[in-house]
Structure 1
């Protein structure tokens, strides 16, 4: 059935961003298309995909704004409690399921898992804000961002939203990609927690609250400017021995996310098809499970000796297909209430 309450282009954006994240986590183009034995194309592709997570945060702020404005405390509880449950469940699964099958075969399950568990305990605070697997950081970061906004709305301090979000973002940059230059101390990896997510969610919140829109031309210009700034920063930081593909967020990254958001918003009927609406509502489920399937296909391709472009194809499209099928199948079972929202 056609869903008239959703903007087709933004739902399509969810799917495109999810595919970009799968490709990012599959580490495509890193072993071929080399220049002087360096994966130039792979590093560029890595950073091109960095629009995806900011886009997800902006989208979250945009859609939650009406409820968060009218009933902030109730919305914090109703929105964040299911997310927290998902984070707990998938953290537990990620802690339990082995990543390196050959090591399990050679040394046993406990030997393989103990190494990973010990690695997590080296920085327990970081693990607390991340969860059982690296990609799960998105969920507590979103919970914290929504909670900060909701509390400020509740106490009628909405004028503090942007200043607080910007301060957190600047600190996140100073303690993250720019730490080599700033030498700022941070208690944990600043990609996690409130540092980057708060600004992204606030942007979405404010765009909806202030009813801000851009034409497709201006949105495209904003997107290109964002990419130009982001890539210029990434290249400049290589002069200080910061790897080009390291960066989750830079100064230009929010502009990338905003540009993609406005570009899609300016074409609301783009992707208007029942399949878009059917799949997009399962993106969170696909997100939380996809990295475990990346691990599965990494092991399969390694055991079968599949390399180069074929390896990337199998991992990316295998993960996208199996993750989607898994979520669709689970959606028809009682496990849906345990695994997903």
Structure 2
């Protein structure tokens, strides 16, 4: 979700595609449609097919920050981290205060509804600290930690250890995360949070820019398909260990898949050369932090209206896209943008 003065249209289009994928994940699109043995395979597939999105954002950050991080690692990291931290804090407070279940508010009161959520967060304090007021905000602390680690290692002249360290953390993160039922490898918190996933993607984006790595569209597509195949094979295999197909934020194949998508966009820089792409791409960070609030309230509205199945899905998914985009656009026209969206 980062920006740069030298924008590549295809990468900006990638930001829009990725934010739509994030909204699709959180809207739980088609998860209420059992297809075989009471399993919503269509919803599960759509959910996992959208998992390239956040790793793409991490890749893009590393790619765009590389020149500045190489020249002034600490200064660049601090100027990047400060506004993200403010956004995380502000939106954490918003999500901690805003009620989610409006029916509970009407029947039991605001304090009762919020107390249940606050008690839930208190059950996993490490996760709550690394996520913030609502689960999707994990992206911001993970991004801050990843960029911070990269800057520290560069400043200490230990840049050669960036990739090995990120690979080690990533392998541990997968084995102690989605593979936990098979490995029993412990972790103090859910390994999607922190540097286990963010660092490797940021470092890969950094190295692609530093080494000027590029591949053809055909090779990029092959990389994408191989990574996606590995990801889905892993997700299916883990069903035998009683791991829900839909829960995986990342698996061993996910970075390969995201790299293929990133390389494909790099190989076709003219994609996205439309007037609407850049203005919409500029809204992606605001849409990301705000969209889940609209998912929640539109889900409440669907319940009040008695909408089920496709009616609910259409209202929540399409409504969230439209309202979060419009909300971000309007806020960006006011002084509040500096606090809410950077």
Same fold (TM over 0.5): yes
* Equivalence for 1:82: 83
* Equivalence for 1:278: 279
Paired with 1:282 and 1:85, the residues of 2 have a C-alpha distance of 17
Paired with 1:23 and 1:278, the residues of 2 have a C-alpha distance of 21
Deviation at 1:36, TM superposition (A): 2.8
* Equivalence for 2:118: 117
1:303-322 matches, cutoff 5 A: 303-322=304-323
Judged with a 3 Å threshold, the aligned counterparts in structure 2 of structure 1 residues 4 and 133 are, in CA distance, closer, same or farther, namely closer
Deviation at 1:102, TM superposition (A): 0.4
Paired with 1:5 and 1:120, the residues of 2 have a C-alpha distance of 41
Residue-by-residue CA offset, 1:166-218 (whole Å, 9 max, x unaligned)? 11101101110111111111111110011110001001000000100010000
Judged with a 3 Å threshold, the aligned counterparts in structure 2 of structure 1 residues 331 and 160 are, in CA distance, closer, same or farther, namely same
Paired with 2:24 and 2:73, the residues of 1 have a C-alpha distance of 36
1:213-292 matches, cutoff 5 A: 213-292=214-293
1:21-32 matches, cutoff 5 A: 21-32=22-33
Residue-by-residue CA offset, 1:54-106 (whole Å, 9 max, x unaligned)? 11100111000000110001011100000000000000000000110101010
Paired with 1:133 and 1:232, the residues of 2 have a C-alpha distance of 30
In the alignment, structure 1 residue 206 sits paired with structure 2 residue 207: yes
Q: Which runs of 5+ in 1 are unaligned?
A: none
* Equivalence for 1:162: 163
Residue-by-residue CA offset, 1:308-330 (whole Å, 9 max, x unaligned)? 11211111111011101111111
* SS of residue in 2 equivalent to 1:274: coil
* Equivalence for 2:43: 42
* Equivalence for 2:150: 149
Paired with 2:283 and 2:81, the residues of 1 have a C-alpha distance of 17
Deviation at 1:4, TM superposition (A): 8.3
* Equivalence for 2:179: 178
More displaced stretch, 216-225 vs 274-283: 274-283
Paired with 1:241 and 1:22, the residues of 2 have a C-alpha distance of 26
Paired with 2:307 and 2:35, the residues of 1 have a C-alpha distance of 18
Judged with a 3 Å threshold, the aligned counterparts in structure 2 of structure 1 residues 295 and 227 are, in CA distance, closer, same or farther, namely same
* Equivalence for 1:333: 334
Paired with 2:36 and 2:30, the residues of 1 have a C-alpha distance of 12
What is the root-mean-square deviation in Å for CA atoms of aligned residues? Answer: 1.1
* Equivalence for 2:192: 191
Paired with 2:302 and 2:6, the residues of 1 have a C-alpha distance of 42
Residue-by-residue CA offset, 1:121-149 (whole Å, 9 max, x unaligned)? 11111111010000000000000000100
Paired with 1:20 and 1:340, the residues of 2 have a C-alpha distance of 20
Paired with 1:86 and 1:122, the residues of 2 have a C-alpha distance of 24
Aligned length: 339
Give every structure 1 segment of 4 or more consecutive aligned residues whose post-TM-superposition deviation is greater than 6 Å.
Answer: none
* Equivalence for 1:17: 18
Deviation at 1:276, TM superposition (A): 0.5
* SS of residue in 1 equivalent to 2:52: helix
Paired with 2:268 and 2:170, the residues of 1 have a C-alpha distance of 30
Deviation at 1:33, TM superposition (A): 5.5
Paired with 1:198 and 1:5, the residues of 2 have a C-alpha distance of 24
In the alignment, structure 1 residue 301 sits paired with structure 2 residue 302: yes
Paired with 1:194 and 1:36, the residues of 2 have a C-alpha distance of 37
